[in-house]
A and B are shown apart, each in its own frame.
Chain A
Amino acid sequence: MASLEIKNISKRFGKVVALSQVDFHVEDGEFCVLLGPSGCGKSTLLEIIAGLTHQDEGTVFIDDRSVTNLSPRERDVAMVFQNYALYPHMTVAQNLGFGLRMRGMPSEMIGKKIMETARLLGITELLDRRPKELSGGQRQRVAMGRALARRPNIFLLDEPLSNLDARLRVSVRLELKKLHERIQTTILYVTHDQVEAMTLGDKVVVMREGKVHQIDPPQIIYNKPADTFVATFIGSPMINLFKGIMTEQEGRFILKAEDFHLEYVHGDLHVGNGELEIGIRPEDITVSHEPAKGLRATVEMVTDVGAEKYIHTKLGSTSLTAKAAKEESFQIGETISLGINPSHLHFFHDGRRI
């Protein structure tokens, strides 16, 4: 177990900037999730940490020791690959023990470690099989096991669940969380799936196009997104964003959007006068059938996901999506009223949170 420090890492591939001055810290025993759309450089960062790729600038510290000049072997990290990368010519047991053997552990010890790991992951009956005889979920476990068996300083997981089907993904996700609680090791987990990031991470690092946008615990990422990218990337359905102007009139703040206005009474906010981008999460908008109160909007479409409903509405030219309980029913074209609690609004200027 160890802490991990990423300092000013930059990397280019030809003209493409893969990473630009990435900077963050993972505490000993922390579960840190790197979240970002595909191509944002998160996998490159993992490879740099593992020592498979070299950064152009910056330093990686493991336990406050620079590992820049160390080979992957000397860094003592373990990595789980997206496509598992199990050795097809070895049995499950040999796969699990490979790292130990490469590090010169006596074979009796290796056998014990293999059994211990297999029991932990519930794959004892698979030990004699070869990877091609395993299902996707089993392969995933073996890949995890290969990393676990060595008890390395740091675990690097590169989208380990993305090749599993939806149901399995949920159960493996839960297992992973439990596993981390049991072994309390440092994990850096790469994903593009916001649900994985929200449920697994103690800390989430949101990245886009090689840059870090926000580093915070998941709740803060969700409740206080640092910029419009983070706000729109996390949350489903997506946060509503619209432009507006804030004006102060006799001590009251009035928010004027294109087709409606809101009174904002949160006095402690200094958003200043001028153009803003305003965000509101769908669950922070209440929907009512009585057109008299609130903002009048027209129902454009209703998405029924079973547990709840998403109401896509139009206020003039502004689109707003609201969440409604599954019992409620709405007709397309119906005029409804929306209630927006001003204290749930997010304000952005030039894309950054105010």
Chain B
Amino acid sequence: MSRGFWTKTVFIFGVSLAAAFSLVPFLLFVSSAFKTQTQVTSIPPQWWPDFSLKFFRSALKNYGIMHYLVNSIIVAGTTTLVTISFGAFGGYALARLKKRWAHLILMGILACAMFPQIAIAGPIWRFLQMMGWLNTYQGLVLPYVALTLPLAIWILTLFFHEIPRELESASLVDGCTRFGAFIRVVLPLSTPGLFTASILCFIYAWNEFFLALLIMTDPARQTMPVGIALFQGEHTVPWGEIAAASFLTTAPLVLMVLVFQRRIVTGLSAGAVKG
């Protein structure tokens, strides 16, 4: 056997193992979501479900997960929009700033992202209470933006940095204003970075549990993760409904990543300058 064969075998084995390790719990709840009540509790566990949609119906009807989903979409969507807008401006400035200063500021931003959530939870709650923003969308979006902004700025700064300055110079000479150059040349060329940052921000806001639980005490405003966690009653744990709701929470994310994956085309700027 050649060395290449073994390297390849070991590689494939390793990758499969890693994938299985991450995927099994996920597949387990996907399978549970499509089971019937008896199948969920059957011993030994049954892997292949009957593809019953009972749990979905029950989750939608009895637990009203639709409005959690709407809340999640509003909160995560707004967070992403605001974060990316601010992140783009901030990142562009940092990418074009003198190296030493930009580095210092980027480090400062990174330091902000290092605070443990539990340490800032108290101050955030007090602040939101003062503003009267508890149980409001903006009350949750605000801390989310603050928490995702460092990551967005970092990703976007790196992307803007890669865009040749000559392209901006060319657009300025062609008659753009500085802002026009940013909108018409820099941003379109940074789409991969914008999508990457957006997806990461969206996922963060979509999955976040702790702050959502703290800030949204009114069930009408709760997001999906909090909603699901509060499914269980005093005596019952509705596993099937939880699985179905979790599936509905996760599916949009997976779908989104799959759809945008194609848009995250690297090397979009190939051909701009010599190469």
Contact across chains for B274 and A146 when beta carbons are under 8 A apart: no
A-B contact count (CB 8 A): 83
Shortest C-beta distance, A151 to chain B (Å), equals 13
Task: Name the one of A50, A82, A85 contacting B272, with C-beta atoms under 8 angstroms.
Answer: A85
Neighbouring A residues of B273 by C-beta, 8 Å = 83-85
Shortest C-beta distance, A103 to chain B (Å), equals 5
Shortest C-beta distance, A346 to chain B (Å), equals 39
22 example contacts (A-B, Cβ-Cβ < 8 A) are as follows: A50-B172, A52-B173, A73-B175, A73-B176, A73-B177, A78-B174, A83-B164, A85-B169, A85-B170, A86-B170, A87-B167, A87-B185, A88-B270, A88-B272, A89-B268, A98-B171, A102-B174, A130-B271, A132-B270, A146-B170, A150-B174, A163-B274
B267 closest partner in A (C-beta): A132
Shortest C-beta distance, A262 to chain B (Å), equals 49
Quick one: given A81-B166, A83-B164, A89-B188, are A133 and B271 in contact (CB under 8 Å)? Answer: yes
Contact across chains for B171 and A87 when beta carbons are under 8 A apart: yes
B176 closest partner in A (C-beta): A102
A79 to B170, CA, bound (A): 7
Neighbouring A residues of B274 by C-beta, 8 Å = 83-84, 136, 163
Does A120 lie at the interface of the complex (its beta carbon under 8 Å from any beta carbon of B)? Answer: no
Shortest C-beta distance, B176 to chain A (Å), equals 6
Does A351 lie at the interface of the complex (its beta carbon under 8 Å from any beta carbon of B)? Answer: no
A81 to B174, CA, bound (A): 12
Shortest C-beta distance, A185 to chain B (Å), equals 15
Neighbouring B residues of A146 by C-beta, 8 Å = 170, 174
Neighbouring B residues of A102 by C-beta, 8 Å = 171, 174-176, 180
Does A77 lie at the interface of the complex (its beta carbon under 8 Å from any beta carbon of B)? Answer: yes
A83 to B170, CA, bound (A): 11
Neighbouring A residues of B270 by C-beta, 8 Å = 88, 132
Neighbouring A residues of B171 by C-beta, 8 Å = 87, 98, 102
A313 to B177, CA, bound (A): 59
Contact across chains for B272 and A131 when beta carbons are under 8 A apart: yes
Neighbouring B residues of A99 by C-beta, 8 Å = 173-175
A55 to B181, CA, bound (A): 22
A52 closest partner in B (C-beta): B169
Task: Name the one of A73, A81, A103 contacting B169, with C-beta atoms under 8 angstroms.
Answer: A81
Shortest C-beta distance, A210 to chain B (Å), equals 21
Contact across chains for A83 and B177 when beta carbons are under 8 A apart: no
Does B269 lie at the interface of the complex (its beta carbon under 8 Å from any beta carbon of A)? Answer: yes
Does A37 lie at the interface of the complex (its beta carbon under 8 Å from any beta carbon of B)? Answer: no
Q: Which residues in chain A, 128-153, are within 8 Å of chain B measured between CB atoms?
A: 130-134, 136, 139, 146, 150
Does B189 lie at the interface of the complex (its beta carbon under 8 Å from any beta carbon of A)? Answer: yes
Known: A82-B166, A83-B164, A99-B173. 20 other contacts (CB 8 A): A50-B169, A50-B172, A52-B173, A71-B177, A72-B175, A73-B173, A77-B173, A78-B173, A78-B174, A83-B273, A85-B170, A85-B272, A86-B271, A88-B272, A89-B189, A99-B174, A99-B175, A102-B180, A103-B175, A130-B271
Neighbouring B residues of A52 by C-beta, 8 Å = 169, 172-173
Q: Which residues in chain A, 96-145, are within 8 Å of chain B measured between CB atoms?
A: 98-99, 102-103, 130-134, 136, 139
Neighbouring A residues of B175 by C-beta, 8 Å = 72-73, 99, 102-103
